[in-house]
Structure 1
Amino acid sequence: MNSASSQSSLATYRWSGSAKLYLDTPAISTCEQVVVGCYGGNTKAGAQKNEDGALVWCDKEQNWEFALIVDAHYTPQSADLLLDAIESIQPAIVEALTQPISTAFFSLQQHIVTLLGSPAFLKRCREVIGEASCLFCARKDRFLWWLNIGDCVLYLLHPELAYMGQIPLNQRSFFEWVGRTNTFELPVPCFSSGIKELRFGWNRILLVTDGLLEYGSRPYDNPFRLYQAFTDRQEVRETNLSALVQHALKRVHKEKGRDSATIIVWDYYNRQGATYSAP
């Protein structure tokens, strides 16, 4: 279900393709400062369904954001299962992100990995049709954490990083999923995770499913072209993020993208010094 709500200082958003397809027409939503763009594909190219999903939680008072982007296969059942499961442990995730930064991300990752590997969740995974790539991301203070299963991509857009050639933070990892085919059924589950210190000034955090990368001339498959598309003259500054997302998804439609494309993006201004900052 597509929804946005707030309880106390927590604002929430959830959407999956089982609720609204957004074929031919991109849809833009917001959860506090976070912008979510959803597009189900061009029907003239054969698009008939949308199997993506997105979840965002923000707490301005506690100074954090948490996001999950999902790209399912065959049906949206595995995406819905993931969204339901993460919502079921919302209190634990919120508690983890209210901890000091020294323990917050460790606690957060433990909760998620424990959930995904639990016997009850694995049983439910065996009952769905299809499987999903999923990318979790959280920002607290001046640090960014992620955990990735599959081929969704997280980008951190900042000119200092782009100058050094670093735009994506994770590598697309194929043949990893959660669902009927499940990495957590292996003797050792396969996923990647990391933590990145944000640079001084504006940092743009961007999560995408592969529908934004694999269409038409594939312009955004090149990280530098994606960086140019989501920045202002290659600088990260205050801007209308909804307009950037709308433009990117309209381009997918114009070039007859068939696959679903989902984007989650927000900005954070880091006022603290970063390692090896310019004087």
Structure 2
Amino acid sequence: MQTFSWTGDQDAFLDTTDVKQIGSLVLGRLGGMTQAGQMKNEDGVVLFTGENWEFVLLMDAHHSADSAKLVAETFLQAEPELRKACEAVTAFGQVPTVITDQLSRSSFLEACRNVNGETACLFVFRKDAYVWWLSIGDCLFYLFHSELEEMGEFEQNTRHFYEWIGQQNAWSLPVPSYTTGTRQLRKGKNRLFMTTDGLLECPVLNMNGQKLYDLLSRVDDDAFVQRLLSDLESHVVRDSSTFVCWTVDIAEEGLIPSDKL
């Protein structure tokens, strides 16, 4: 069982790559290069794990890290309730409710109005052979598996702009603006990867799902994260980049078409 939290104001990792193993998950961080004009890191991560599940919140703030700090503190305070939901038989009904309830609390919405800036938020919860996500903004979640690669499927969500949590708040709209989904994992090794947009905004690398899959299929999670950070550093990237990568091995067969049974 693991609990981890970090926001870029605590340690910016400017001109510095960092790879950290947290249970079965690999966290990669690069605050950006001062040579390119970077002066701060506004990313953040909150991570909880249990016996057969992982919950990850990835954030990419702007204007300041204050909004990421607020969201991180909110979900750290909710850790007992969230862990109970993750452990429940009906976890995939309970976890989304805990998250949306936290985001909808009047005290939280008031705190958001008084914070400096706003943050994209990507929540991913995996338990057994299923994964659920909720995305507000432009962080990306990928699911890599050979059967999905054959169909050209990599990204599980789409980057959406003009969505944040914070002073400008997609959750305070009359109808909250976000995307969400639930997927069954495939039999064998499923590689889960979350990233802030620093990786995607590096024009020289021109990263996409196929390139990431090709690289990841040749190495383990740690080497994959190391390689991405090294490539960003060598190209003197300005924007901060934060990744979370892990592998889940599933024993049971996933759904297949009836004409292939």
Asked if TM exceeds 0.5, the reply is yes
Calculate the TM-score normalised by the size of structure 1: 0.90
Rounded to whole Å, the distance in 2 between the matches of 1:240 and 1:200 is: 18
Q: CA deviation at 1:243?
A: 1.7
Which of 214, 231, 245 matches 2:217? 231
Answer yes or no: is 1:201 the counterpart of 2:192.
no
Q: CA deviation at 1:118?
A: 1.0
Aligned-partner residue type, residue 17 of structure 1:
G
Which of 23, 27, 34 matches 1:43? 34
Rounded to whole Å, the distance in 1 between the matches of 2:202 and 2:37 is: 13
Kept after mapping to 2: 8 A contact 1:16/1:76:
yes
Rounded to whole Å, the distance in 2 between the matches of 1:12 and 1:92 is: 14
Calculate the TM-score normalised by the size of structure 2: 0.96
Which secondary structure state, in structure 1, belongs to the residue aligned with residue 253 of structure 2? coil
Q: CA deviation at 1:216?
A: 3.3
Rounded to whole Å, the distance in 1 between the matches of 2:104 and 2:59 is: 18
Q: Which residue of 1 aligns with 2:204?
A: 217
Deviations 1:71-122 (A, max 9, x none): 000100000111000111111111111111xx21221111111110111001
Rounded to whole Å, the distance in 1 between the matches of 2:169 and 2:26 is: 30
Rounded to whole Å, the distance in 1 between the matches of 2:59 and 2:226 is: 19
Answer yes or no: is 1:142 the counterpart of 2:129.
yes
Consecutive unaligned residues of structure 2, counting only runs of 5 or more, are: none
Kept after mapping to 2: 8 A contact 1:216/1:257:
no
Consecutive unaligned residues of structure 1, counting only runs of 5 or more, are: 1-9, 233-238
Rounded to whole Å, the distance in 2 between the matches of 1:70 and 1:231 is: 26
RMSD of aligned Cα (Å): 1.2
Answer yes or no: is 1:93 the counterpart of 2:82.
yes
Q: Which residue of 1 aligns with 2:228?
A: 248
Rounded to whole Å, the distance in 2 between the matches of 1:13 and 1:115 is: 19
1:73-222 aligned at under 5 Å gives the runs: 73-100=62-89, 103-220=90-207, 222=208
Q: CA deviation at 1:227?
A: 1.4
Runs of 4+ aligned structure 1 residues displaced above 6 Å come to none
Rounded to whole Å, the distance in 2 between the matches of 1:217 and 1:113 is: 37
Rounded to whole Å, the distance in 1 between the matches of 2:116 and 2:153 is: 37
Q: Which residue of 2 aligns with 1:6?
A: none
Q: CA deviation at 1:218?
A: 3.7
Rounded to whole Å, the distance in 1 between the matches of 2:132 and 2:236 is: 34
Q: CA deviation at 1:241?
A: 1.6
Which of 12, 17, 21 matches 2:12? 21
